[in-house]
Structure 1
Amino acid sequence: MEDIQQRREDFDRKPRPYDYEPTVSIAPATINGVSCYWFTPEDPDQGKTIIYLHGGGFAMGSIRSHDKFVSHLAKKLQARTLFIEYALAPEKPWPAGIQDILSVYGEVDLPYLIGDSAGASLIVQVIGELLKRDLPLPKAAVLISPWIRLACDYPSYEANAAIDPVLTRDLLQMLARAYAGDGTLDLASPENVRPARFPPVLIMAGSNEILLDDSRHFYEYIKDIQPVSRLTIYEDQVHVWLRKDVYSTAGRRAFEEIAGFIRLFSPHPANPCLFL
């Protein structure tokens, strides 16, 4: 894939209208050879540990692209949050990233999984692998603007093309090919995992994104597998809108919804943390 290093730099350096949450500490860690970072708020709820999987089309994204956002999320959830820098395509295509996540997942006691975009897609694939290996599933999952069908052919690609300022079909098709590597899109596509069981799940999408139908179709499938499934479509919002600005009205509402959903499955529910 041409100019991938420049694309990564641009993705990492994209400015945000907010800074780090000052009460959250960030510490690097290496777990089974995988680079990770712990985000720890003051007085975290000991009953909650979050694993966060970043987006970036399976080829971009790092601690630099998501550190500010995840610091605010850790504060809102009042939970230690483990950010995984999984292997990226095209150098390390499918299933390298999944293998990295599984290596880390086994060292964390019954976490919650949260991911955006490709990171949300990886949650689906990781859960499929956990089922194959008869390993415990996470307590709950949150999928933010998930990319589920790598064929990129749902109607929302056309319907929302003019109102999505973040993604294009051409870009996603290029990233999908890079992620599949020497395999096929069918093998690499999260859509084809088709898990028989799934943890309670919150799916969130913006009404203006070309990936909107990915969320809709996945919800239609998973609601019959997991009755505690929720799809929320945020009107007039784009792909992963809450990372764009955590202080926007839609960003705050999304943070509140995630926190409320996670609290439903917490053994020791903490008092809601006000988003200051």
Structure 2
Amino acid sequence: MANIIHKLDPSDANVMEGMRAYLATLPKIEIVPEARSGYDDFVSMTPPAEGVSFEPGAVAGVEGWWCIPTNAKPDKALVHFHGGGYIIGSARAYLNLVSHLAAQAKISAFVPDYALAPEAPFPAAFDQALAVVQELSADGRKTLAISGDSAGGGLALATAQSTTVKLEALLLLSPWVDLTLSAPSISDAAVDDPILLRSALDSAAELYAGAHSRTDARISPRYGSFSTLPPMMVHVGTAEMLRDEAIAIGDAVAVSGSKVEVHVWEGMTHVFPLNLASLNAAKEALALSVGFLDEHIG
């Protein structure tokens, strides 16, 4: 599999320069419970899509939010697992981002508020993710896809590797899939990540995994099986610590014979599609993601 490289758009270069200058005045994100409110405020700055209603709901006893386009088909659904290092983040904060996938792919999307550590460490989130997918399938959602960003991307991949439910597509944005932090880009000084800190990732991994080995595939799906996955699309930036993890899982899927596309975006930072209002790369990544979903669940 050849990774698909996207050159840095000149206008995006200017935006990223300004963004880096602004981020340099702020402390990097701390992945601790005390940061939950501020993190949600930051994530929810993504503008919402038009023509989508937001409704609270629960699936398999897991509360969350639905993004429902006016033209959504009742037998199809997307489940999106939000990011936040398994410690922070919420379904409500990520609705605006997910609403764009729902609106353009014409599919209802459920964002579960899965259990967070340290109050509920592994395997709580993993068990809930499996239960959500299982219940949606049993409840008549015959066509299912799952997606996730950052830690939610790792949770989505671990779920896809473990569930017995037939999935049509798997979409990952800057996925965190190796909590051992052994990917080269984690320690590469040339990767100038203005958002993530290795120490913050390590602390979050410790809180989430607890006494369990971080090489457990349910925690770090990088070490799981890639032989039975649905078609997969991955987006990652070159300016983020998790770059090599995304590339590695793409390579593993390709070796297994499954269909995969890994889009590598020059100069982009962690979960850059959140910046739909200002980055052309974010809009292009969204368009590619919607096309992928349309192809497999449209």
> What is the TM-score when the length of structure 2 is the normalising length?
0.82
**Where does residue 263 of structure 1 map in the other structure?**
294
1:166-245 map, 5 Å: 166-187=195-216, 188-245=219-276
Tell whether 2:27 aligns with 1:8.
no
**Where does residue 274 of structure 1 map in the other structure?**
none
Tell whether 2:276 aligns with 1:248.
no
Once the two structures are TM-superposed, the CA of residue 205 in structure 1 deviates from its matched residue by 0.4
Q: Conserved in 2, the CA contact under 8 Å of 1:13 and 1:64? A: no
Once the two structures are TM-superposed, the CA of residue 226 in structure 1 deviates from its matched residue by 3.8
Structure 1 residues 246 and 194: alpha-carbon distance in aligned structure 2, compared to 1, 3 A threshold: farther
**Where does residue 113 of structure 2 map in the other structure?**
85
**Where does residue 153 of structure 2 map in the other structure?**
120
Deviations 1:118-167 (A, max 9, x none): 1110112112221xxxx223101011111111111222123356621111
Amino acid at match of 2:183: Y
Q: Conserved in 2, the CA contact under 8 Å of 1:11 and 1:60? A: yes
Amino acid at match of 2:181: C
Secondary structure of the residue aligned to 2:256 is: coil
Deviates more, 1:38-47 or 1:180-189: 38-47
Secondary structure of the residue aligned to 1:185 is: coil
Structure 1 CA distance for aligned equivalents of residues 119 and 273 of structure 2: 29
Deviates more, 1:70-79 or 1:212-221: 70-79
Unaligned segments of structure 1, at least 5 residues: 270-276
Q: Conserved in 2, the CA contact under 8 Å of 1:112 and 1:140? A: yes
CA RMSD of aligned residues (A): 2.0
Q: Conserved in 2, the CA contact under 8 Å of 1:17 and 1:245? A: no
Deviations 1:15-63 (A, max 9, x none): 6654322421011112222102111112124564111110100111102
Q: Conserved in 2, the CA contact under 8 Å of 1:223 and 1:229? A: yes
**Where does residue 166 of structure 2 map in the other structure?**
137
Structure 1 CA distance for aligned equivalents of residues 146 and 165 of structure 2: 13
Amino acid at match of 1:73: L
Q: Conserved in 2, the CA contact under 8 Å of 1:160 and 1:210? A: no
Structure 1 residues 87 and 17: alpha-carbon distance in aligned structure 2, compared to 1, 3 A threshold: closer
Structure 1 residues 181 and 96: alpha-carbon distance in aligned structure 2, compared to 1, 3 A threshold: same
Deviations 1:192-238 (A, max 9, x none): 22243111000110111110000111111111224311111011100
> What is the TM-score when the length of structure 1 is the normalising length?
0.88
Q: In percent, how many aligned pairs have the same letter? A: 28
Structure 2 CA distance for aligned equivalents of residues 3 and 69 of structure 1: 20
Structure 2 CA distance for aligned equivalents of residues 189 and 234 of structure 1: 24
Q: Which of the numbers 38, 58, 74 marks the counterpart of 2:66?
A: 38
Structure 2 CA distance for aligned equivalents of residues 80 and 223 of structure 1: 29
Amino acid at match of 2:182: D
Deviations 1:65-85 (A, max 9, x none): 212212222112221111111
Structure 2 CA distance for aligned equivalents of residues 126 and 15 of structure 1: 24
The structure whose RCO (Cα within 8 Å, separation 6+) is larger is: 2
Tell whether 2:179 aligns with 1:147.
no
Q: Which of the numbers 103, 107, 112 marks the counterpart of 2:135?
A: 107
Structure 1 residues 38 and 64: alpha-carbon distance in aligned structure 2, compared to 1, 3 A threshold: closer
Q: Which of the numbers 187, 196, 199 marks the counterpart of 1:158?
A: 187
Structure 2 CA distance for aligned equivalents of residues 15 and 227 of structure 1: 32
Secondary structure of the residue aligned to 1:256 is: helix
Deviates more, 1:171-180 or 1:194-203: 194-203
Amino acid at match of 2:161: G
Unaligned segments of structure 2, at least 5 residues: 1-29
Amino acid at match of 1:178: L
